[in-house]
Amino acid sequence: MAKVYLTGAGPGDIELLTLKALRVIQQADVIIYDRLVNPEVLKEAKLGCECIYVGKENKHHILPQNEINTLLYTKALKHERVVRLKGGDSVVFGRGGEEALFLASKGIDFEFIPGITSAIAVPEMANIPITHRGKSVSFRVVTGYEAPEKGYAQLDWNSFKQDETIIFLMGLHQLKNICQQLMGVGKPSDYPVAVISRGTLKDEKVIVGTLADIYEKAKDLPTPALIVVGEVVSVRAMLLGER
């Protein structure tokens, strides 16, 4: 019986791929993958495996989500093992839950294979622990993408008043707005912020600043980029021996 594996490929570094993900990738008949999947991962596919790119970038989608859902279904009708491969974890802003619901509605068997989420791994590998005693006892992972014209739910900025680590994914294009909104609800202008571009990869770039100046420092970084807001950002300098 056909099965679709909704699989997280981790934050980028191929060595952060889980053993279970590696096994299903090596056994797959079809791999349907996103933009943030490291191309090195696809080299693990067996000879004859069909690899289909359905990546999404800002304002440019190879396939809309409904067509990706249909593609998963039609491939599952023809093949025994279909892998839906996504960067990070498939259900952390990866729409894996939507794909699972579609497959379930069509009677197609599926399985989630969790991936290491970039929300935790990217800051950690950049020497920013997202919780740290004396700095932060909680964290929040937030989408940095807002589209009110499409009816998407908006962020309740007033809920960000408490002192916790905030991780914004897919937020580089909204960096200026994010900083303005956080200062607008009372965060001081010198509140620590870091932007990490292409985290865990060899060309990773880490820019550290404050809510007042991080936009000018980091606005031209390449995507994907992750934003960390909070006192934990200061731990990086301590770990690196900086003053």
Strands 81-86, 30-33: pairing is parallel
Closest CA to 211 of 232, 187, 233: 187
DSSP β-bridge partners for residue 226: 169, 196
Is the distance from CB of 8 to CB of 93 less than 8 angstroms?
Answer: no
Q: Which of 13, 125, 170, 187 is catalytic?
A: 170
> Quick one: CA torsion of 11, 169, 228, 131, rounded to 10 degrees?
-70
Q: How far apart are CA 161 and CA 38, in angstroms?
A: 36
- Can 59 be counted among the known catalytic residues? no
Q: Which of 34, 75, 86, 187 is catalytic?
A: 34
Q: How far apart are CA 243 and CA 238, in angstroms?
A: 7
The 3-state DSSP class for residue 142 equals strand
Helices (H), 114-232: 118-125, 175-184, 214-218
Q: How far apart are CA 237 and CA 132, in angstroms?
A: 14
Q: Which of 56, 106, 135, 217 is catalytic?
A: 56
- Can 170 be counted among the known catalytic residues? yes
**Catalytically annotated residues:** 34, 56, 170
